[in-house]
Structure 1
Amino acid sequence: MNASTMAARPNSLAARDGAYHFHGYTNALKNEQEGGFVVVRGDGPFVYTEEGKEYFDGLSGLWCCSLGFGPQPRLVEAAKKQMETLPFYHTFTQKVAAPVVELAEKLVQLAPVPMSKAYFCNSGSEANDTAVKMIWYLNNALGRPQKKKIIARVKAYHGVTVAAASLTGLPALHNDFDLPIAGILRTDCPHYYRFGEAGESEEAFATRCADNLERLILAEGPETIAAFFAEPVQGAGGVVIPAKTYWEKITAILKKYDVLLVADEVICGFGRTGNWWGTQTFGLQPDIITTAKQLSAGQLPIAAILINQRVFEALRDNSNKHGGFAHGLTYSGHPVASAVALETLKIYEDLRIVDHVRSIAPHFAREMDAFSDHPLVGEVRKVGLVGAIELVKDKKTHASFDPKLAVGPTLVKFAHEHGLIVRPVIDSLCFCPPMVSTEAQLTDMFGRFGRALKDTHDWLKREGHVA
């Protein structure tokens, strides 16, 4: 921590954060020099700093705080009761705590397509890493040792652990980490606005994506392609909503070449897109589903992998051959996290959360669409209660600003001044408010965004970057 900053606020939590805490997704030098943004309490969609300033968190933290940031008495009680009864047990060697059994049963029952078993992890990254290991294990069990390559997409986000970060199609997660690992292939991002060609219809673009996927599979050899990982909506890639007919065409290719589909529902699951699962919103038929975040409303770390009967039988039989499935995590199926997740699902049902998202989504869409005619706004994307507004230099050509200008991050700074936390993906500003938000709260959020957008436009004019 530099001396001037420490002298200015020697006892503040922000200064102590800069002195002692090494963050993820953060410029470490900047945090050391300036200190962190420290949140001390929450209430609904709002969080508050140690100085008492209010901020509307428009991304539900990290796409996860579906019930908001205030304490949830039912979840507090569920955690307390489990802590008082059995605060820890593991899931190795046929042992398990009671709430884990109930949660597994509940998730299999809620699955959008027939699933057989649930396996628990602590994060979406761990879930996707584990799914990769399961797929490799499965193909060895089936006598297909060459069928190991996995396809993911440009702008995909599947996490930060070694295999999951390799699946992620964002270069920043690979730079100087010696990633991606071998056997990861990349195919098109289904973003028509950004990647569609001149004169190409949305359906024709979807066909091109499917044709390119098939060419990739044939070039590599279908006997080498194990799985296709995909988010129903690509969240951290900028809330990319797939082009019309995309999933229908992609699914046909995967079935043709016996390629497993892994639906990464870490962001989309539990009502976010207007259905219990993004898989339902877009008509997918996955073999494996990974999920996390809203599973516990972001209150405790927990993730789950759902596998169908075909996948399970291969894993089961191979575990019998080896005397056990030699993969596991100390905190996999942690009883306290499981109890909280189980109660979260009950709250969703009691609140009729999917109906609420469907009822409020039109207002969310209207608020977003109101920015469509702004000179900086190229595209507005939304489904359910998740969306993005992409800023462009030229609305007609879709030309982006020079990345060195950092237009999106600059808007985020202006938004911060207006008490709004919003996520930039280059120049796309992402929104994922708590699913319990009211129309008035959404209007408040976008009002703050509108003021930040005006500040950004004024700044670009002053600097001569726009007319």
Structure 2
Amino acid sequence: MTSTSLWHPQTAMSTIEESLTVIASGRGASVRTEDGQDLLDLPAGLWHANVGHGRTRIADAVRRQMADLETYHLFQGMANRPAIRLAERLAALSPIPDAKVFLTSGGSDSVDTACKLARRHWQLAGRPGKRVIVSRQHAYHGLHGFGTSITGIQSNRDGYGGDSLIPETARVPWDDLAATEAELLRLGPDNVAAVIAEPVIGTGGVLLPPPGYLTGLAELCRRLDVLLIADEVITGFGRVGQWFACRRFGIEPDLLTMAKGITSGYLPLGGVLVSRRIWEPFFAETPDAPTFRHGLTYSGHAAACVAAEENLSILEEEGLLERVLDLEPVLAQALTPLRDHEAVVDVRAGTGLLAAVQLDPDADARPVLRAAREGGVLTRLLADNSLHVSPPFVITAEEISRAADVLKSALDRARTLESA
């Protein structure tokens, strides 16, 4: 049964009748459809179900919090205790020393917050010309005002009456430091506020950074006095085997955006970790200290913060970050043989539980998705016609092997149908 009222995000609504799948429940690394089919959830929802589905511990904690207080806002000195506790915990995990935590409702909110903070920082520093936010080709940073403006996926930029909703933006190659430096110099460092980068590009196709790229980018930003924003909405909270990918790749950004895995999707929540360089003026104990005129109704939502606390505890107590590192080679080994399939252009894996199976860019991937679903595996397409693989951390080695077998069978079946 379809709805005549629901408008699906990022969806060609004319095709919804043939593709609608209603998810009714989930347990561990699998979900069950409304018509009773069990599916291995290879995308973990939208990259978020890190601890897996059906965690009654999180649901019970949220219920208890809501019975006392659903939430209370953080504006003008108001607070709720879960938001205070969570901020302290996040600051302790942060790859940014002495970080402050600005809580949001999700990833797109976090990106907008970080970009506004970057520009506000330079205004306060007496360098108002530094306004341009530079991003990378293939990058995805949500779809709010700044996210739409800085995306490196052209289809998400088109159709709004101009090249960019916010004009002071620019893009650079995703993997070329020399070209990035040349563009920053062309723009003029005195005009550039920040470079924003996903440590591993997600929606653009799970593009792993070349060796030394991220440390080189951080050094370039320092040398040219440009802020570095790490977008860890996907990679944060264990996806690459550490709390944050910045630790794995050895970089210390000025701002770090987070969401998704912070609650494993049990409630919407996000945030920005902010370095001393940026937060210090706002915390100065002087009458003329500036105010950051930015906020969200549900920043630090009490029940969402409780969900995050329980989620972080599960990650710690069950050793799920270590499990990601253990499964990292298992996932790569299972998927690598697909590279030899005639329908496959590339397989990218080997950094945490993140992978993509890239199909021929001109191929119709819909038969592959259907055949995989019929075989009990749920995946979806990324921007470069890749199959999305980022399973919950509780997936087993046996489930990974089964998923790879199903994907191969789906590719074979789709190729056979195409040739018929």
TM-score normalized by structure 1? 0.85
Aligned AA (1:74): R
> Structure 1 residues 352, 320: CA separation in 2 closer, same or farther (over 3 Å shift)?
farther
Q: CA deviation at 1:266?
A: 0.5
2:110 alignment partner in structure 1: 127
Aligned AA (1:391): L
Does 1:450 pair with 2:408? yes
Aligned AA (1:351): E
* Structure 1 unmatched runs, 5+: 1-13, 191-208, 393-400, 463-467
Rounded Cα–Cα distance in structure 1 between residues aligned with 2:121 and 2:290: 15
Q: CA deviation at 1:351?
A: 0.8
Rounded Cα–Cα distance in structure 2 between residues aligned with 1:154 and 1:223: 22
2:246 alignment partner in structure 1: 279
2:376 alignment partner in structure 1: 419
Between structure 1 and structure 2, the one with the greater Rg is 1
Aligned pairs for 1:385-464 within 5 A: 385-392=353-360, 401-402=361-362, 405-406=363-364, 408-425=365-382, 426-462=384-420
Rounded Cα–Cα distance in structure 2 between residues aligned with 1:137 and 1:261: 14
Rounded Cα–Cα distance in structure 2 between residues aligned with 1:80 and 1:255: 46
Does 1:27 pair with 2:5? no
Does 1:220 pair with 2:191? no
Asked if the contact 2:282–2:290 (Cα under 8 Å) also holds between the matched residues in 1, the reply is no
Aligned pairs for 1:55-454 within 5 A: 55-70=39-54, 72-178=55-161, 180=164, 181-190=166-175, 209-317=176-284, 321=288, 324-382=291-349, 383-392=351-360, 401-402=361-362, 405-406=363-364, 408-425=365-382, 426-454=384-412
Aligned AA (1:29): S
Rounded Cα–Cα distance in structure 1 between residues aligned with 2:404 and 2:182: 43
Q: CA deviation at 1:108?
A: 0.5
Rounded Cα–Cα distance in structure 2 between residues aligned with 1:378 and 1:97: 50
Q: CA deviation at 1:417?
A: 2.5
Asked if the contact 1:319–1:325 (Cα under 8 Å) also holds between the matched residues in 2, the reply is no
Rounded Cα–Cα distance in structure 2 between residues aligned with 1:391 and 1:341: 36
Aligned AA (1:328): G
Asked if the contact 1:141–1:315 (Cα under 8 Å) also holds between the matched residues in 2, the reply is no
Rounded Cα–Cα distance in structure 2 between residues aligned with 1:304 and 1:177: 27
2:20 alignment partner in structure 1: 36
Rounded Cα–Cα distance in structure 2 between residues aligned with 1:300 and 1:321: 37
Rounded Cα–Cα distance in structure 1 between residues aligned with 2:6 and 2:30: 24
Aligned AA (1:416): R
> Structure 1 residues 367, 388: CA separation in 2 closer, same or farther (over 3 Å shift)?
same
Rounded Cα–Cα distance in structure 1 between residues aligned with 2:225 and 2:245: 22
Does 1:48 pair with 2:5? no
Asked if the contact 1:247–1:284 (Cα under 8 Å) also holds between the matched residues in 2, the reply is yes
Rounded Cα–Cα distance in structure 1 between residues aligned with 2:49 and 2:70: 23
Q: CA deviation at 1:77?
A: 1.9
Rounded Cα–Cα distance in structure 2 between residues aligned with 1:423 and 1:245: 30
Partner SS, residue 356 of structure 2: strand
Asked if the contact 1:379–1:389 (Cα under 8 Å) also holds between the matched residues in 2, the reply is yes
> Structure 1 residues 42, 308: CA separation in 2 closer, same or farther (over 3 Å shift)?
same
Aligned AA (2:387): L
Q: CA deviation at 1:318?
A: 11
Rounded Cα–Cα distance in structure 1 between residues aligned with 2:215 and 2:388: 26
Partner SS, residue 341 of structure 2: coil
> Structure 1 residues 369, 35: CA separation in 2 closer, same or farther (over 3 Å shift)?
closer
1:9 alignment partner in structure 2: none
> Structure 1 residues 117, 66: CA separation in 2 closer, same or farther (over 3 Å shift)?
same
> Structure 1 residues 79, 151: CA separation in 2 closer, same or farther (over 3 Å shift)?
same
> Structure 1 residues 171, 450: CA separation in 2 closer, same or farther (over 3 Å shift)?
same
Deviations 1:136-167 (A, max 9, x none): 11111111110110100000010010111211
Asked if the contact 1:150–1:225 (Cα under 8 Å) also holds between the matched residues in 2, the reply is yes
Q: CA deviation at 1:127?
A: 0.3
Partner SS, residue 321 of structure 1: coil
> Structure 1 residues 315, 168: CA separation in 2 closer, same or farther (over 3 Å shift)?
farther
Rounded Cα–Cα distance in structure 1 between residues aligned with 2:286 and 2:47: 35
Aligned AA (2:230): A
Q: CA deviation at 1:324?
A: 3.2
Asked if the contact 1:115–1:306 (Cα under 8 Å) also holds between the matched residues in 2, the reply is no
Rounded Cα–Cα distance in structure 2 between residues aligned with 1:217 and 1:39: 45
Rounded Cα–Cα distance in structure 2 between residues aligned with 1:346 and 1:459: 47
Aligned AA (2:154): P
Deviations 1:56-100 (A, max 9, x none): 221000000112222x12201210121122112000011110010
Q: CA deviation at 1:322?
A: 6.8
Rounded Cα–Cα distance in structure 2 between residues aligned with 1:453 and 1:58: 16
RMSD: 1.8
Partner SS, residue 424 of structure 1: coil
Between the two proteins, the alignment pairs up a number of residues equal to 416
Moved more, 218-227 or 415-424: 415-424
Aligned AA (1:257): L
Deviations 1:312-338 (A, max 9, x none): 013445996376322111111000000
> Structure 1 residues 437, 159: CA separation in 2 closer, same or farther (over 3 Å shift)?
same
Aligned AA (1:413): R
Asked if the contact 2:379–2:389 (Cα under 8 Å) also holds between the matched residues in 1, the reply is yes
TM-score normalized by structure 2? 0.95
Higher RCO (CA < 8 A, seq sep 6+): 2
Moved more, 46-55 or 332-341: 46-55
